[in-house]
């Protein structure tokens, strides 16, 4: 009960101030409104986004590279193309045993031992032990 009386006393004390404010002119002055508008205009200018410059146009090579997916995709693709050209152009008959045929020519018969020594190493990788 005591706390309710204290609360009522506070409300009555504040009612005097609220009643006085109800009768007062609550319109802001023109000077205050002009300062608020000037501050808002300054904030709009500060927060305005800068004009975006268009990106420079990429060259034809860069566009082609980007269409493949960038360097991360183009480099392994180029390595596979080189290996495929090597296997298909230099030693086509030596790869017949992958298909199961018995008549295969060795790399040294196709190229000669002195022509390319890397081909013999590749052939050794494919031989069965």
Residue ranges covered by each domain of the chain: 2-47, 60-126
Residue 97 neighbours by CB distance under 10 Å: 16
* pTM (two decimals): 0.30
Short-list 68, 67, 64, 85, CA closest to 76:
68
Please choose, from the candidates 96, 97, 94, the residue with its C-alpha nearest in 3D space to the C-alpha of residue 118. Answer: 94
- 117 and 123 in contact (C-beta within 8 Å)? no
- How confident is the model at residue 40, as a pLDDT? 92
Q: What is the pLDDT of residues 99-117, one digit of tens each?
A: 555 554 555 555 555 555 5
> Do 119 and 90 touch, CB atoms closer than 8 A?
yes
Between residues 12 and 79, the one the model is more confident about: 79
Tokens 């045929």 map to which residue? Answer: 101
């Amino acid at each position: 009960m005591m706390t309710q009386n204290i609360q009522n006393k506070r409300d009555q004390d504040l009612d005097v101030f609220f009643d006085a404010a109800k009768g007062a002119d609550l319109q802001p002055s023109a000077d205050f409104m002009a300062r608020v508008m000037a501050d808002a205009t300054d904030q709009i200018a500060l927060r305005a986004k800068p004009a975006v410059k268009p990106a420079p146009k990429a060259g034809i090579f860069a566009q082609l590279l980007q269409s493949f997916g960038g360097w991360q995709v183009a480099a392994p693709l180029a390595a596979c193309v080189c290996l495929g050209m090597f296997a298909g152009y230099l030693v086509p008959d030596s790869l017949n045993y992958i298909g199961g045929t018995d008549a295969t020519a060795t790399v040294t018969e196709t190229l000669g031992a002195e022509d390319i020594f890397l081909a013999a190493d590749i052939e050794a990788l494919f031989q069965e032990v």
